[in-house]
Chain A
Amino acid sequence: MSMIMWFVLMIAVSTVWLVWFLKNPLKSNLFNLEKSNVALGKQRQAELEQDLRQNLIDESEFNQAKQEITQTLAIELNQATGADTLAQKNIPLWSIGLMVAFLVVASLGIYQLLTPQPKAELIPQIVEQSEPPSLKQSMAELKQYLLEKPDDFEAWQTLGLVSFELGEMEDSLSAYERSYQLNSKNVSMLVEYASAIATSQNDQFVGRASMLVREALEINPNAPDALYLAGLVAANAGQFDLAKKVWQRALSLLPQDHPDRPILEDILVELAQIQGEETPQYQVTINIDLSERLRQAEFNEHYLMVYIKAAQGRPMPIAIQKIKLKDFSGKVTLTDENSVMPSRKLSQSTQVLAVVRLSQSGAAMKQAGDIQVLSSVINVRDNPTVDLQVE
C-alpha cells in the first residue's frame, strides 16, 4: 500500500471515530456537581465524627467544624450554575461535515506545512543561473545527480569532499562511506576519507582513520598522500622513527615543484630537532591571584586544582598539581614531573590551556559549585608564565 493510501486510511479511521461519537455520545454519569458536593459534604461530616471519636478534635470545636462544613456546602450549592443540565441535541449533518472537513484539511495541511520540501526542487533554479556554481549549489546538484545514479562512487567521493569543505562533517562522512562501500580500492578516496575522519576526531589519526591509510598503502605503497598520512599515524602513536622514514619516502616521490614539498620539509626539520638532541624540558608557570573572599579561612580546606590541558583534543589534564588552599603560595610551576601520563609529558605538548579550579571536594571532575578559570591558548615551548585571577 502506498503512503497516500496509508494517510487516507488513517484519516478515514479518525473520521469514523469522530462521527461515531458525535452520533452516539457517551452517556454522562449520574452525578452532577450538586449531588457530588452533597455526597462529599456528608462524607466530611462522617469523617469529622470519626475524628471526634478518635479524639482528633475537641468537642467544643466539633460543633463549629460541623457548622463550617454545612456552610461550605451551602456556598458550593449556591455557586452551582446549573450547567449540568446539558441538552441532548442532534448535530446537523452540515456541522458534522464541517468537523470532518476540519480534520482532513487540518491534518493534511499541517503535515504539508511541517514536512521539509525536498531540496532537489531547488535544482532547476540553480541550473538556470549563468555564474559558476557555488559549493552549496554543487552539493545540491550532486545530490540530485546521486538520486538518479546512486552507484557512482566518484560522485559520492566528490560529495564527501564538497561537504567537508562546507564544514558539514556528518554529510561528508556519510558520503565517503557510501563511496567506500561502492569501491574500497580508490586510493584518493581512502586518503580523503581518512583525513575527514581524523578531522572529525580532533585531528587524531587513530582507529578507522589509520585503518584507511593502511588500506590505501596496501593498494599503492607509493602514493605520496597516503604516505604523508601514514607519517601522521606513526607520529600520533609516538613512533617518530617510522614517521621520519615514511615522510622521507613521501618527499622523495614528490616532484621538485610540488606545493606540498615545503610542508613535508618543515615537518622533517621539526622531527629532526626533536630527535637529534636531548629532549628539552619546558615548564608553565601560573601566578594565581585569589580574591579577598577566597583567602578567608573558610576556604582553607578547599583544593586548588592547577593543570594544563591541550587547547584542542582530549580534555584530560597533561600535567596537574592539587594543592590545599591553606598550603598555596600564589604561584604554581608545572613541569614534566607533574605529567599525568609518562607517554604524554608536558614538554611534548605545544598549544595548551592553563586551568585553575577551586574545588571543595578535590574531585578530579568539575563539580557543581567549583570555580574554574582558563587561560588563553599558550605555547609550552615558550616556557610561558600565565596570570590568572580566581574570584
Chain B
Amino acid sequence: MLVEIGHFALVLALVFALLQVSLPILGMVKNNVALAQLAKPLLWGQFFWIIVSFAVLMNAFVVDDFSVKYVANNSNTDLPSMFKISAVWGAHEGSLLLWAMILAGWSVAVSLFSKRLPAEVLNHILVVLGFISIGFLLFLLITSNPFERLDIIPLQGRELNPLLQDFGLIIHPPMLYMGYVGMAIPFAFVLSSLVRGQLDSTWLRWSRPWTLIAWAFLTFGITLGSWWAYYELGWGGWWFWDPVENASFMPWLVATALVHSLSVSEKRGAFKHWTVLLAISGFSLSLLGTFLVRSGILTSVHSFASDPARGLFILIFLVIVIGGSLTLYAWRANLMRSSNSFAPLSRESGLLINNILLVAAMLSVFLGTLYPLLLDSLGLGKISVGPPYFDAVFVPIMIPAVLVMVIGPFLRWKKDNTSRVFGLLKTVWIGVAALFLVALFLTDNIFVLLAVFLFIWIVLHSLVLLTQRLQQKGRPSSAFFGMILAHIGIAVFVLGATVTTQHGIEKDLKMELNETIDIKGYQFTFKGVDNFNYENYQGHKGIIEVAYAGEKIATLKPEKRQYVTGMPMTEAAIDPSLYRDLYVALGESLGDDAWSLRLYYKPLIRLIWLGGILIALGALLAAFDKRYRLSFQRTAARRSRVES
C-alpha cells in the first residue's frame, strides 16, 4: 500500500506543478495578487509530495519490497544497507525521481533566498521552473514509473550493478545532478526576463550567484566521477572522453563561459545577447546530457528505438525546451541592444575571447560525441571518435584560453593600452621565463614542458594580481579570492593531468609467487592470493608488497570479486600520495600460483582532483560574495535610509 501512496504522491506533485504554472499566470493576467502569489506555496507543496514519493521508494529498497519492479531489478536482501539507499538512484527511474526532487529543491531555495527579487520577477521564474518540473514528472509517470508493481513477486531481487556499489557512486550522481539541475536556475531567470520583456540589471545580478553555485556542483560532480572512474574501473584512467563523461563536460564548459559573461553583463551591461544564449544552451546541454545518459542512447543507439515511448517523449521535451526558448530569444532580440562600447584591448575583450574559446571547445566535444551517434542512428555506418580526436582538437583550443584567462584580470575595463599592460606584466613574464628555464633542466617531454609553462604562467600571474590587490586600499571581495582560487585550480589540474598522462607507467604482466618487478624504483613483490567471502560477493584478494629503497612502504590488496548474481568486478588497490599513486589491479589466474596483474605508477595524479576541488571552492567563494548576501543588502538599505 505504501508504494501506491508514493505513486499517488508523485501524481499530486504533478498536479501541484500544473497549478504552480497555471494559477500564477492567471493571477498576472487577471491582475490578482492572491493567485500570482500562489507560485511559492504551490512549489513548496510540489516539493513536499516529491519528498514523500522519494522517501517511499527509499523505504521500498530498505525493506526489500520486491513487489516493486524497480526494487527487484536493482537490489536484493544481501545488498549492504548503505547501497540499498544509493540504489534508489542507481538506475533510470530512480535517478529521474532524484532529478525531479533536486529541481524542486533548487526551486524552493530560489523561492526562499531571493528576498531581494521583486515578487513579480520571482513568480515568473517559479512558473518557468514549474514548466520544467511538469516535463520531468510527466516523463517519470508516463514512461519511467519507479513504483510499477510486479505480477509475480520474486523472493529475491537482482543485483545492483557492482560498479555502483561504491561510496563514490553514492555521492557522485547527486552532486552531478545538483550541477545539471542548477543550470535550470539561470535558464529560468533568462526565460522569465524574455517573457516579461525586461532584460534588466535585476536578472543579471541575481542569476549570477545561482549560476556560480550550480557551476561549483557541476565541477565537484565531474571531479568525483573522474576520481571514481580511476579507482573503481580498474584501468587507472581518470578521463576517457567517453560520451557519458562528455555529456556532463559540455554543460560545464558553457557554464564556465556563462559565469564569466554574466560578470561583464552585470558590471558593464555588455554581452547580453551572448549571456542569454549561454544560459539557454547551458541548460539545454544539461537536459541533453541527462537524457543521453538516461535514455540508453549512449550505450546503444538501438535502445533508444527499443522504447519508443521514452524516446519520443525525450525528443518532444527537448524540442519544446530548446526550440521554445530560442524562439523566445529571437522574439525579444531587440531588447538586448547595447551601446556600451569597449576597445579591442580591454577586460571585456579578454573575457569575450575566453568565452569564444570555451564555446568552441564545447562545440568540438559536442561534434565528437554526437556525430557518431547521429551517423549510427541514421544507418550511415559506424565511426569511432576517441582520445586522438579530442587531444588534437580540444586541447589546442584550450591552451590559448588558459593563457588569456590570467591576463584578463590585469586589463582595465573598456579600454587599455599595450604599453601599460606590458609595463605591468613584464616582470611577471621575466619570472615565468626564468622559472621555465629551470624546468627545461627537469624534463625534455614537450607536453610536460608546456604544462609546466602553463602552471607557472597561471600561478605567477595569479599571485602577482593577489599581491597587487592586497596592497590597494580596502579588502578585496571574496569573489576576487574565488577567482584566484579557481584559476590556480586550473593550473594544478593542467599540471597533474599532463604529468600523469606523459610520465605514468603501466605494466600488464604475469607474476609468479614472490616475483618482484621494479617500476620507477618501487619494487612490487607478488605474495600470492587469498580467497574471501563477503555479504554479497566472494573472490580473490591479491597481496602485493611494495618497497622503496629496500624499505617496505605498503601492502596492496587488489580484489577480483564475483557477485552472487555472477557479475565479476575488479577492485584496484592504491597507495596514494600527492606526489604519486601506486595502483595495482588483479587479473586472471594463470595457473601454478601465477596471476596476471596490472601495475601502474601515476605521478601527480591527485593534482587532477585537487584542481577540481579548488575550482569548485573558488566558485562557492564567489557565489557567497557579500554583494549577493542578504545581511549585506539589509545593512546597505539601512545605511541608505539613514543617509536619505
Contacts and interface: CB of A to CB of B under 8 A. Distances in A.
Are chains A and B native binding partners rather than an unrelated pairing? Answer: yes
Q: Which of B36, B200, B413, B469 counts the most chain A CB atoms within 10 A?
A: B200
A207 interface: yes
A367 B11 contact: no
B34 interface: yes
B629 interface: no
Q: Which of A56, A340, A371 counts the most chain B CB atoms within 10 A?
A: A56
A110 interface: yes
Contact of B31 (A72, A87, A343): A87
A43 interface: yes
B577 interface: no
B171 interface: no
B33 A87 contact: yes
A72 to B, nearest CB: 5
B121 to A, nearest CB: 6
B467 interface: no
B379 interface: no
Contacts of B587: 364
Interface in B1-37: 1, 4-5, 7-9, 11-12, 14-16, 18-19, 23, 27-28, 31-37
Interface in A92-114: 99, 102-103, 106-107, 110-111, 114
Contacts of A102: 15, 19
B299 to A, nearest CB: 12
Nearest to B40: A26
Interface size of A as a range: 35 or more
Interface in B545-573: 566
A166 to B, nearest CB: 13
A301 B398 CA distance: 26
A58 B412 CA distance: 7
A365 B196 CA distance: 53
Given A54-B472, A110-B141, A61 B415 contact: yes
Given A18-B19, A53-B473, A114-B142, A64 B34 contact: no
A86 B118 contact: no
Contact of B11 (A25, A81, A110, A143): A110
Contacts of A17: 41, 45
A7 B31 contact: no
A56 B408 CA distance: 11
B514 interface: no
B32 A91 contact: yes
A55 B412 CA distance: 8
A360 B33 contact: no
A83 B124 CA distance: 12
Nearest to A181: B155
Contacts of B19: 18, 99, 102-103
Interface residues of B, number: 94
A274 B95 CA distance: 52
Q: Which of B154, B241, B347 counts the most chain A CB atoms within 10 A?
A: B154
Contacts of B340: 65, 68, 72
Contacts of A372: 384
Interface stretch (A128-136, A171-179, A219-227, A245-253): A171-179
B83 to A, nearest CB: 21
A10 B5 contact: yes
B42 interface: yes
Contacts of B589: 341
A28 B38 CA distance: 11
Contacts of A50: 474
Contact of A71 (B5, B120, B339, B415): B339
Contacts of B32: 86-87, 89, 91
A58 B33 contact: no
A364 to B, nearest CB: 7
A348 to B, nearest CB: 15
Contacts of B588: 316, 340-341
Interface string A13-34: 0100110111001111101110
Contacts of A178: 152, 155
Contacts of A174: 150, 152-155
Interface in A355-391: 360, 362-365, 367-372
Q: Which of A48, A50, A58, A116 counts the most chain B CB atoms within 10 A?
A: A58
B521 interface: no
B36 A86 contact: yes
A150 to B, nearest CB: 10
B108 to A, nearest CB: 14
Contact of A107 (B11, B116, B205): B11
B501 to A, nearest CB: 11
A150 B40 CA distance: 49
B200 A37 contact: yes
A360 B200 CA distance: 51
Interface string B390-427: 00000000000000000000001111100000000000
Given A26-B41, A178-B155, A369 B388 contact: yes
B303 interface: no
B386 interface: yes
Interface of B: 1, 4-5, 7-9, 11-12, 14-16, 18-19, 23, 27-28, 31-38, 40-42, 45, 49, 115-121, 141-142, 145, 148-156, 196-198, 200-202, 205, 235, 237, 240-243, 266-269, 335, 339-340, 347, 384-389, 412-416, 469, 472-474, 508, 566, 587-591, 598, 627, 636
Interface of A: 2-3, 6-7, 10-11, 14, 17-18, 20-22, 25-29, 31-33, 35-37, 40-41, 43-44, 47-48, 50-51, 53-58, 61, 64-65, 68-69, 71-73, 76, 79-81, 83-84, 86-91, 99, 102-103, 106-107, 110-111, 114-116, 119, 143, 159, 170-171, 173-175, 177-178, 181, 201, 207, 316, 340-343, 360, 362-365, 367-372
Top 5 A-B pairs, shortest CB-CB distance: A369-B386, A28-B119, A86-B33, A174-B154, A21-B41
Given A86-B120, A342-B590, A370-B386, 9 more contacts: A21-B42, A31-B118, A33-B198, A61-B415, A68-B269, A91-B34, A363-B235, A367-B386, A369-B385
